[in-house]
Chains A and B, each alone.
Chain A
Amino acid sequence: MKKLLALIISLALFIFLFQLVMETPSKLLSERVSSRYVQKNVLSSGEAEETSANLVTSVVLSYRGLDTLGEVTVLFAAATGVAFFMKNVKERLNFLFSSFIVQTGARVVSPLLVTLGIYIFIHGHLTPGGGFQGGTTIAITTLLLYVAGGLVERKRTVFRTLEGLSGSVYVLIGLMGLAVGGAFLYNFLPLGKIGELFSSGIVPVIYVLIGIKVGSELSNLVLHTTGGDNS
């Protein structure tokens, strides 16, 4: 009976949303804010003022940089919250596939995965991917090492310090922009040419920081989900 009611409500919601989407007009890309992002001509100066080849990166880190600082903070708060909840949970999960082969395999694969993660976030302004994707890859390595027999158990404090450090440096870079260019997160490094590795100023620097931060935050999250903090 309750299911029937839920079904009716969700069907009604579907029809309602369908009509709503049909009714709202859709603007072409050329009339949207992002058309200027695509031309890299927000300041109407005629030349590229932002030089990441990956347009999503330039939106995420440059045009809407404050969102990204906030987003990293959400993750930070969530990881801290999980740690907060789990700090009194003493017992640990023991479903580790800790056979010799798995451990060796994890040891061999994990450096490769970390390298991949680092590659992804260093090239975040050139190719798809960036700090979040690379950071997640690193966190997945942590997960692998954990599942293969708790190989990262004693490294927890390192992750927490890394998390705090990269976050502080991120904010400090933002404040430096305020001091140099008069606006928080102002891009004060030389911009270079589109498509080169050393281009677009502070964007790759911040993406590397985000990579480290997201990587350590998600690692923390995973490790804390498995049990409390007994350091």
Chain B
Amino acid sequence: MNPTFMIAIPLLTAFLLFVLPKRRWLNTLFITLVALFTSVYSIAGLFNIEKSMSFGMGGWPTPFGINLVVDNLSAFFVMVTQLSFLLTIFALFGWYRAERYSGALMMTFLAAVNGMILTGDLFNLFVFMEIASVSLFALLNLRESSGSLKATFNYMVLNALASSVYLIGIALVYRATGTLNMADLSQKWGVISEASATTVFLMLLTPLLLKAEIFPLNLWAPRIYGRSSAGITTLLAGMVAPAGFYAMIRLFSLLSSSGTTQNSLLILAVLTMVIGEVVALTRKSLREMLGFSSVAGMGVLLMAALSNAMEGALFHLFNLALAKVVMFLSVELLTAGGRDDLESLKGTYKRNPAMAFVFASGAFSVAGLPLFAGFRSKLIILSDMMKAEHYIITAVFIFASIVEFFYYTRAVQHIFSSNEEIAGGRQCSHPLSTLVLLAAAIFIIFTGIYPESVMALAEKAQMALTDVGAYVASVLGGM
């Protein structure tokens, strides 16, 4: 697979939307086609990867030009984000007819997320992160309220601050090593003295922690999740957060970081998880609850990644992204953008039984009920962490899982409880969205029963992550 197309095709579409005649169905058609293309292309590519491959842009050899890297790890993440995007596009089919502006922003956003995952250059990563955030800022206000506007402004300020920190980090890295290429940098990282290397590394990590919603840089997240349209926050939970997580573990594996960095980040991850779960328990609004739960999920991933359970973490990431996207979308379709506190959700299953089922399967997957995908991945994380003798963290993880299980069953119970008042108004979502979301829900259960196929992909991705030598060799091969 040539990664160029994953970036160039969505970008071309974004620009073309302003040249083509102004028709909503035409825009929607184009966007859907592109989403289908990138998904199929990335999945087809994923099964054809023998080893790590590097593509130099402009025909320049790698430390000099910018390169895109495809290996099992980046392809895995690209696949996850493409699936999230595809689901979102199809599920929003009912109410979201793409007008030019938001359609073009969707496309630039898609290109940027792919770029964030595929790029092998630090500054290029910065550029793609900026495209992703700038496109998202407008999209988050598709259903605009003063709450969503203020939340977006808050997010933008934090984002700009984190980007500045990242740029300072880049300046220092370039000053000390004379290169911006990640693979080249991993060879020259030793030049920087121990103390400042830790600081510079954390500076590079700052915007990634922000994107991956790790405490304390996730303070923007609850407001955004609570006040923006749930159909769009899928893009945050299913695409931006995985992309940020990818860049983070890539940097971790390439730039050897000190034990203190690892430990302090591990503490942050555990804090993220615990705070997220506990606050989610107290929330009345379903969207906010899902938002906090999403934050907590990212904490779980980072915790597992830092305590020798990378394979389980990757598998869990897949399950989590899928379940989160499915849940956010079904909440959007269940409530139709209206009230979403638990009381008002009582008995909504009568209005739209298919969506209620979809929500339940997503919720049970995240909560880790047997038969569902999330159970398998949580089990693997648990056993790997026990093997690595991280007992205290394992205990905290089990505690957090119990809390999670409790509030998800409560939400599902509310949706399925019978409530005479509401039984009247029956409301359907677009048949296409129903079909796609149902397929996703069935896939979650299928993965829960036969986890082998996804597990094999996660395993290959994990191998690609640990094999730093192959990565560096493929990137700098021409030297």
Residues of A within 8 A of B (CB): 17, 20-21, 23-27, 31-34, 36-37, 42-43, 62-67, 69-71, 73-74, 76-78, 80-81, 83-85, 87, 160-161, 163-165, 167-168, 170-172, 174-175, 177-178, 181-187
Knowing A67-B124, A74-B131, say if A62 contacts B58 (CB, 8 Å): yes
Give B125 Cβ to nearest chain A Cβ, in Å. 10
Give A10 Cβ to nearest chain B Cβ, in Å. 13
Knowing A23-B196, A27-B177, A42-B60, say if A83 contacts B101 (CB, 8 Å): yes
Q: B200 on the interface (CB 8 Å rule)?
A: yes
Give A107 Cβ to nearest chain B Cβ, in Å. 28
Knowing A23-B195, A26-B175, A42-B64, say if A168 contacts B16 (CB, 8 Å): yes
| Binary A-proximity of B24-59 (CB < 8 A = 1, otherwise 0) | 000000000000000000000000000000011111
- The listed residue (B18, B123, B176, B184) touching A27 by CB distance below 8 A is B176
Q: How far is the CA of A76 from the CA of B138 in the complex (A)?
A: 12
Return chain A residues, CB-CB under 8 Å to B179: 32-33
Closest 5 CB pairs of A and B: A164-B18, A32-B178, A167-B15, A81-B138, A70-B127
Knowing A63-B60, A164-B17, say if A87 contacts B8 (CB, 8 Å): no
Chain B contacts with A in 152-202, Cβ cutoff 8 A = 168, 172, 174-181, 184, 191-193, 195-196, 199-200
Q: How far is the CA of A64 from the CA of B67 in the complex (A)?
A: 9
Please state if B105 and A186 are interface contacts (CB–CB under 8 Å).
Answer: no
Chain B contacts with A in 125-163, Cβ cutoff 8 A = 127-128, 130-131, 134-135, 137-138, 141
- The listed residue (B19, B135, B174) touching A161 by CB distance below 8 A is B19
Chain B contacts with A in 260-291, Cβ cutoff 8 A = none
Return chain A residues, CB-CB under 8 Å to B112: 70, 73
Return chain B residues, CB-CB under 8 Å to A36: 64
The chain B residue with its CB closest to the CB of A75 is B134
Return chain A residues, CB-CB under 8 Å to B347: none
- The listed residue (B19, B59, B128) touching A187 by CB distance below 8 A is B59
Chain A interface mostly: helix
Q: How far is the CA of A185 from the CA of B8 in the complex (A)?
A: 11
Return chain B residues, CB-CB under 8 Å to A23: 193, 195-196
Please state if B105 and A77 are interface contacts (CB–CB under 8 Å).
Answer: yes
Please state if B101 and A87 are interface contacts (CB–CB under 8 Å).
Answer: yes
Please state if A20 and B199 are interface contacts (CB–CB under 8 Å).
Answer: yes
Q: How far is the CA of A164 from the CA of B177 in the complex (A)?
A: 39
Chain B interface mostly: helix
Q: B14 on the interface (CB 8 Å rule)?
A: yes
Q: How far is the CA of A71 from the CA of B65 in the complex (A)?
A: 16
Give B343 Cβ to nearest chain A Cβ, in Å. 33
Q: How far is the CA of A170 from the CA of B7 in the complex (A)?
A: 13
Please state if A183 and B55 are interface contacts (CB–CB under 8 Å).
Answer: yes
Q: 19 interchain pairs (CB within 8 A)?
A: A24-B175, A25-B175, A25-B191, A33-B63, A36-B64, A37-B64, A62-B60, A63-B60, A63-B65, A64-B124, A66-B119, A73-B11, A161-B18, A165-B15, A167-B11, A167-B18, A175-B8, A183-B57, A187-B59
Knowing A81-B134, A81-B135, A81-B137, say if A165 contacts B8 (CB, 8 Å): no
Knowing A20-B199, A24-B172, A32-B179, say if A76 contacts B124 (CB, 8 Å): no
Please state if A70 and B105 are interface contacts (CB–CB under 8 Å).
Answer: no
Please state if A171 and B12 are interface contacts (CB–CB under 8 Å).
Answer: yes
Return chain B residues, CB-CB under 8 Å to A174: 4, 8
Please state if B55 and A76 are interface contacts (CB–CB under 8 Å).
Answer: no
Q: B66 on the interface (CB 8 Å rule)?
A: yes
The chain B residue with its CB closest to the CB of A31 is B178
Give B185 Cβ to nearest chain A Cβ, in Å. 11
A70-B112, A81-B105 given; 6 more Cβ-contact pairs under 8 Å = A24-B200, A42-B60, A42-B64, A67-B124, A80-B108, A171-B12
Return chain A residues, CB-CB under 8 Å to B61: 42-43
Return chain B residues, CB-CB under 8 Å to A42: 60-61, 64-65
Give A224 Cβ to nearest chain B Cβ, in Å. 11
Q: B102 on the interface (CB 8 Å rule)?
A: yes
- The listed residue (A20, A73, A81, A164) touching B16 by CB distance below 8 A is A164
Return chain A residues, CB-CB under 8 Å to B15: 76, 163-165, 167-168, 170-171
- The listed residue (B11, B19, B56, B59) touching A69 by CB distance below 8 A is B11
